[in-house]
Amino acid sequence: MSAHAPPARTKVTIHTLQSKKAQGEVITMLTAYDYATSLAVDQAGIDSILVGDSLGMVVLGYDSTLPVTMDDMLHHCKAVARGAQYPLLIGDMPFMSYQASIEAAVRNAGRFLAEAGMDAVKLEGGRDVIPATRAIIAAGIPVMGHIGLTPQSINHLGGYKVQGRTALAARRLIDDAIALAETGCFALVLEAVPGRVARLISERIDIPTVGIGAGAGCDGQVLVTHDLLGMFDRFTPRFVKRYADLHGVMVAALSVFRTDVSSGVFPAQEHTFTIPDDEWGQLLEDLGPP
């Protein structure tokens, strides 16, 4: 092996992320909801894949994440697990899969690992979800926390708003973060939080923070892949950087297909299968005149 060859890739674990924080290395995370996307995210060298309940909005066409079910999540998690070999895989527990009872929370969390091939689960909420979080961790299931803008609570929050913009609100987030870390979460998502608040939280807790709309002071960054790739011609959150316009590329390609079919350009001879002339002749002879 060349002295300059990159090290062989190994499976990313929760300890990998924690080691990255300790060594000051930035963590990368993206969403995926299907086999093809998970293959691409894996091949790009991303540390972790979140199968987010955001699939309700970007894949299933809902107005929010609230209608997403356990069956929806498990279906998409299985597809992602078939495509990704190296990233840490995290399944997002959907609305009402962990809020109703501790028993249901543990049972549903376990299904993500036992049935869907995930390595860990993510729960939204602060100190209010600590009983469920503690029970899931006690069952041997790694948990990532999620505070700040928690989309499953948009009706309570009054919409998709930045959280922690007052000293009191910021203190509540800090207290939530410390409590979740002490409970045993292996990492924490900070969503739509002022950058200074997110940096302060990242400095005050030992576990990695992964920001989405939370500035550069977090230990890692995550985006919804569909937003990053410009898969939709729609509103994009301020914190998203678009790296491509695949929606435009797709519309252009599909329009050319429509034109080619309408004009008879497609399918051409190279796109068509043939039958040998002798077999064709035998067929016509057998059929006789029309």
Domain residue ranges of the chain, discontinuous segments joined by +: 14-244, 249-287
pLDDT of residue 245: 94
**For the chain, which residues score pLDDT lower than 70?**
1-6, 154-160, 235
Kindly report, residue by residue over 269-279, the tens digit of the pLDDT: 999 999 999 99
**Checking DSSP bridges between strand 209-212 and strand 220-223, what pairing results, if any?**
parallel
The position carrying tokens 């077999």 is: 279
Quick one: tokens of 192? 């739509």
Which segments within 123-179 are labelled E, that is strand?
143-148
Kindly report, residue by residue over 181-237, the tens digit of the pLDDT: 999 999 999 999 999 999 999 999 999 999 999 999 999 999 999 999 999 877 677
Task: Exactly one of 25, 124, 182, 191 is catalytic; name it.
Answer: 191
Using CA atoms of 29, 30, 32, 37 in order, give the dihedral in degrees to the nearest 10.
-110
Closest alpha carbon to 29 in 194, 186, 203, 234: 186
Residue 56 to residue 43: CA distance in whole angstroms:
25
Residue 55: burial class (beta carbons within 10 Å; 0-12, 13-18, 19+): buried
270 is catalytic: no
pLDDT of residue 4: 67
**What is the third-level CATH fold of 14-244?**
TIM Barrel (3.20.20)
Model's pTM, two decimal places? Answer: 0.93
8 A C-beta contact, residue 222 and residue 41? no
8 A C-beta contact, residue 68 and residue 62? yes
